[in-house]
Amino acid sequence: MEILVLIVLFVIVLFLSTVIVPQQQMGIIERLGKFNRVLGPGLNFKIPIIERVAGKESVRIRQLDVPVETKTQDNVFVNLGVSVQFLAMQDKIFDAFYRLTDVNTQITSYVYDVVRGEVPKKTLDEVFETKDELAQIIKGDLSESMDTFGYSIVKSLITDIDPDANVKEAMNQINATERLRVAAQNEAEADKIRQVKSAEADAEAKKLQGEGIAKQRAAIIEGF
């Protein structure tokens, strides 16, 4: 009976001591309410009762899509889609877990600040032309700010630039007009080429006709 009790107690203690951390995650252990250590993926152990798993932090790359509305230098309202890829750094899991309550909200705030600080310096055309440069500025500012919170910014992309509906309609009209102008220009060039070729063919025909008449006259003269 005593052996059975000991076995049951051993199983209970083993169960309470075992911590399994999934792949691509890190476990946070607190001892009596204070941070103690970080657990890696796999099977780990803790001291029952006085130690607990405070939580787990993913070290996978995560993606956050941030829509931002702002105005360009030429007073065009534009909606930008910004995509940010980030991850918690394994050597700064303490900061990533304890220093931020909501990492998505923090990154979104920084993206707003950068975009609304940079886009008003550019015209709409410049925003389209320099979107990669803007993405790098966002990545640089975010990397500097989020490093103190234990996060690394992997990549930042401008995925969409959507001007006001009236501006888009005007742009479409300009593009349509430009396409018609190019088509008309191409047609004029083609017509010009056809005229030149026709003139060259006519000149060649007259030349051959003249040569034929000259030969005919020469033959008549020789006959006399």
Cβ–Cβ under 8 Å, residues 96 and 120 = no
Q: What is the pLDDT of residues 53-81, one digit of tens each?
A: 999 999 999 999 999 999 888 888 889 99
Domain for residue 106, yes or no?
Answer: yes
Tokens of 147: 């490093």
Residue 224 CA to residue 211 CA, distance in Å, equals: 21
Give the gyration radius of the chain's Cα atoms.
Answer: 38
Do 100 and 116 lie in a common domain? yes
Note whether 87 and 148 are same-domain residues: yes
Range of the domain at 196: 182-224
Question: Does 119 reside within a domain?
Answer: yes
Total-model pTM: 0.69
Q: What is the CATH number of the domain that holds 78?
A: 3.30.479.30
Show which of 23, 40, 58 is a domain's final residue: 58
pLDDT tens string 92-126: 999 999 998 899 999 999 999 999 999 999 988 88
Residue 30 resides in a domain: yes
